[in-house]
Every structure is written in structure tokens, then in C-alpha cells.
Amino acid sequence: MQGNEAAVFHYPLPMRKLTTTNLEVAVWIARLGSFTSAAERMNTTQPGISARVKELEDTLGHKLFVRQGRGVELTLEGRDFVAKAEAVLKQLDNMSVSFGKASSSGVVQIGVSSICLDLLAATSIETARTMPLVSYNVDVDRAAPLLGRLEARKLDLVMVSGPVEAHKFRIHPVGWDRMLWVGSQQLMESRMHLPRSERLKGLQIWCVQSDSFYWSQGTASLRAQGADLGRANGIGNTAAVARVVAAGAGIGLVSQALVQTDLEMGRLVPVPDFAPCEQIEFSVVTMPDCGSIVDEVISAAVSHSPFRRTRFDD
């Protein structure tokens, strides 16, 4: 500097601050592939998501997403930003839990097969104690569509029975049960005077739809007993099977654990001369990066599962 000339420094205009909401918006768009799906997942509108993205791109000075058909794809800068955003959100999530589960909050999106309702109940009782600010939004459906919604990131975890593709998901076994053919006590007693080959003729049969993994084995015993498989009724879940059959509408294939109280009170009885069907394993299933709150839900499900820890000794 010469003489008394004052030094002049030129500072850039202050940048808008990044927010966790904007980070979450970018991450969910990347995971789901569209603004619309991200809006549905975050319980907001598509214009709201678009406004967040514009704000974020203006702040960063980079284009993060480009239109591709009905969806979007990440730019090079977008891929780098989303990877860093995921790491930041994971750290914040872990920090929140590290200061006590009781302070954790949020809504966990859960998918549950009806055969797993007792598992859901046991899990929610425990998490209500340890994470009282966490709540659930629950879809009840069959395993296949639930796993599809999990893979599409519309659910955080699912509770299902039967085989799961291990290469797609994280699988957390929670126990075993077996399937039984049951009917109402009154219905079974009314047929005991008939010859064994005649007892099941004309009866309605109730089971989760025939694309369920245990249907083929379950029906093998029916054929051997002379049942009319032309009268088989598909129904959406095993809890509904138990309800319909307890009313005397026929026989149904159900989970033993699901109807244990009905069996003990005599509302349902095993179909005479039928051996138990296939043993089934129950699991809580997530995507690999499910987050610490979901991890706590998984831990509660595993430790408080109502299912047997080992297979039956048939």
C-alpha cells in the first residue's frame, strides 16, 4: 500500500445455509428417482419439492438433477452431493440416538403381513417405552407387495414370513412358526361321524392366495383327504382366514401362533388326522441403509418376538 491508502477487500455475498430438509429432499429424489415420489415419501407436494431443489441448486451453484423421461437422474455434481448428504444425515441420526433413545422422534413406515400382527404389537409395546416420540404408519398386506414397496423406498421396514431375497435386503430373523389347517369346533364335530374320506367333501377352503409360498404344500394334505380344491377361496391375509373359519364357513390354513388363543379356548380346532404343514421363518426386513431409529425398532422386534426361537421338532 502507498501512503494512507486503505486496503479494500472484496468478500463474496453470503451463501444461503444448507438445511437438513434440503439434504433429505436431495437424498430421497436420488433414491426414488422422481420429484413426485420424493414428495409422497416426505408428505409434501411436488411443487414444494421442486422449490426446495431450486433453492438447493442456487445455493450450491450446480445443477444436481436432470430430467429423464418421467423421472430424473443425478448429474456428476449431484452424485457427489448426495453421497455427502447421506453421510451427514447418518451422522445427525446417530448423534440424535446417542443422546438417548427417548429423544428420538419421527414416523416409521412399516409393512406387516397379517400373520405378523402379534410381532408388530410386541415391538410397538417395547418401542413405546424406549422411544415414546416415535410413531408408526402401518400397511397390512401380503409379503410380495410389501417387499416391493420396501425396495421402492416407500416403506422403512417390513415384517413378513417365508423366504426373502437376501441380495436385495437386510434380513433379521425373529423366529419360527408352522401352518395348521383348522375349522370351528362345531363344524369339525358335525363331520366326525362321516367316513374319513367324506369329512372334507363340500367344505369351503380358505387360504391366502394360491401364489403364497406355503399354499402348494398345504394343499397336498387336502388332496390326500378328499377335499374339493375347486372350492378354495383366496383371501388377503391369514387373520381374515381365522375370522371367517371361526364363524363356521369351512376350513382354513393359518399360523399356529396367530390362532393360539382360539385353539386354547376351543373356538378353532385342528382338522382331525392332518399333520402340521410347513414350518415358516419370520423376519424383519429392511434396505441396507435404514437408519438408527429403524435399527432400534429391529432390535425391539428381535428381542420381543412372540415366535419360537428354534424350529419345531416334528
3-state secondary structure 156-191: CEEEEECCCCCCCCEEEEEEEEEEEEEEEHHHHHHH
- The 3-state DSSP composition of the chain as helix, strand, coil percent (nearest 5) reads 45, 20, 35
Q: What is the pLDDT of residues 201-216, one digit of tens each?
A: 888 888 876 566 667 6
CATH 1.10.10.10 maps onto the chain at 20-97
Domain boundaries 105-176+280-303, CATH class: alpha beta
Instruction: Locate 78 and state its grid cell.
Output: 449431484
What are residue 280's DSSP bridge partners? 177
SS3 of 146, please? Answer: helix
Domain boundaries 20-97, CATH class: mainly alpha
Rounded Cα–Cα distance for residues 171 and 169 (Å): 6
pLDDT of residue 103: 65
Question: Which is nearest to 299 in space by CA: 130, 169, 179?
Answer: 130
pLDDT of residue 11: 40
pLDDT of residue 314: 59
pLDDT of residue 299: 92
pLDDT of residue 99: 58
pLDDT of residue 210: 58
pLDDT of residue 10: 45
CATH 3.40.190.10 maps onto the chain at 105-176+280-303, 178-278
Residues of the chain with pLDDT under 50: 1-3, 9-14
**CATH number, domain 178-278:** 3.40.190.10
pLDDT of residue 121: 94
